[in-house]
Structure 1
Amino acid sequence: MLKGNLVELRPVSKDDLKHLFKWSNDEEIANLAHGSDSAYQNNNPQEDIEAFYEKNLTAQPLWENGRVFIVYTMSTGVPIGKCSYSNLNPVTRTAEIGLSLGEREYWGRGYGSDIIQTLLKHLFYTLNLERVQLDTWSGNTHALRLYEKTGFQTEGRLRKNEYVDGAYYDTILMGMLRSEFKL
């Protein structure tokens, strides 16, 4: 478990699958978290979530390539979202991250920043990475503000690469180097 100031990041367990099912079938949350890929994220039966868990979280050595965490509040122990790192490259010492707060009442209260800080501390100082990157879509203004606030810099833009709710948006590529990370 990784502990921050407000959150604790725990590896996904079978008990967490009901939360993943709920969040992945919330269209607004899926759109914000996945952009044009949200069509593949929502409207999935619980059996599909369980099969994905069995295939990808227990049968493969994710600790070598990445990890998915459920985010719990430190104060109440309530699950409020998920985060992950993936595409871990031991040669270049890089990885990609993502996060989603599935419980709306925790939006805008500092939990997103604490998730990122906790995850980056682990990636930069425990796993000794040099660079972490992420992407989001230009219509997800809350995420863009969060990433900029936590120190990520915009490194690129893929024009009209996302299609959400009938409109095109850019994919925004962002990154952070270990030397830029502030605890």
Structure 2
Amino acid sequence: MHKGKLIELRPVTREDMERMYIWRNDHEAATWAAGSSLATYSNISLESLNAMYDENVRTAKLSDKFNRFIFSIYTLEGVHIGNCDYRDVNPITRAATIGIGILDKEYWSKGYGTDTLQVLLRFLFLTLNLNRVQLDTWSGNARAIRAYEKCGFVVEGRLRQNEYVDGQYYDTVMMGLLREDFSVTK
């Protein structure tokens, strides 16, 4: 397990799917997590999440872990508060895309997202030896953008009005971080 000051990253379990079901069907939590992908992220049954777990997590080959892996985010006190992942690992450029969602509302704006990012980035840069990590979010998600910037991510581009959230257009904000710009002491 990978530990930070506030959280630890654990492999996803079937029990985590029950909380994911609640969060993915909570409009506010799902909107912040999914942005314009809300329609496909939300309104999902527990059976569908369990099937997704069986197909993508439980039966995944060890070699799949190097291209994509999903973690559950737990507080150090053992409370499941969200999930994060890395995917699309390019072995030539040593780059990957990440995603993070602190979905338990009690833990919003308290540093859990930043700590999760720091733990995930340490793993990706120092264990998997990646050189670049990238992500994207919608421009209305200021809390997430602040957390990304605290960890050293810089805006590398924008896709204007590429997101549609709650009846309004937003930009897709693309951000990246190079290993040389990541401070291990974080």
Same fold (TM over 0.5): yes
Q: Match of 2:165? A: 164
Q: Match of 2:21? A: 21
Q: Match of 1:100? A: 101
C-alpha distance in 1 between matches for 2:125 and 2:107: 26
Paired residue type of 2:153: F
Question: SS at 2:44's partner residue?
Answer: coil
C-alpha distance in 2 between matches for 1:72 and 1:16: 10
C-alpha distance in 1 between matches for 2:20 and 2:97: 20
Please state if 1:44 is matched with 2:44.
yes
Shift of residue 60 of structure 1? 3.2
Q: In the TM superposition, what whole-angstrom CA distance separates every residue of 1:117-160 from its partner, at most 9, and x where no partner exists?
A: 00000000000000000000001111111111111000000011
Question: SS at 2:5's partner residue?
Answer: coil
C-alpha distance in 2 between matches for 1:60 and 1:71: 20
Q: CA RMSD in A?
A: 1.0
Question: SS at 2:16's partner residue?
Answer: helix
Equivalences for 1:115-130 in 2 at 5 Å?
A: 115-130=116-131
Q: Match of 1:114? A: 115
Shift of residue 79 of structure 1? 0.5
Equivalences for 1:7-18 in 2 at 5 Å?
A: 7-18=7-18
Q: Which runs of 4 or more aligned residues in structure 1 lie more than 3 Å from their structure 2 counterparts after TM superposition?
A: none
**Equivalenced residues, count:** 182
Q: In the TM superposition, what whole-angstrom CA distance separates every residue of 1:6-43 from its partner, at most 9, and x where no partner exists?
A: 10100101111101111111111111111111110111
Q: Which of 64, 72, 75 in structure 2 is aligned with 1:73? A: 75
Question: SS at 2:125's partner residue?
Answer: helix
C-alpha distance in 1 between matches for 2:165 and 2:40: 12
Question: SS at 1:80's partner residue?
Answer: strand
In structure 1, runs of 5+ residues without a counterpart are none
Question: SS at 2:55's partner residue?
Answer: helix
TM-score when normalising by structure 1: 0.96
Paired residue type of 2:127: T
Question: SS at 2:130's partner residue?
Answer: coil
Please state if 1:176 is matched with 2:177.
yes
C-alpha distance in 2 between matches for 1:64 and 1:148: 26
**Which segment drifts farther, 158-167 or 119-128?**
158-167
TM-score when normalising by structure 2: 0.95
Please state if 1:59 is matched with 2:59.
yes
Among all aligned residue pairs of Structure 1 and Structure 2, give the percentage whose two residues are the same amino acid: 52
In structure 2, runs of 5+ residues without a counterpart are none
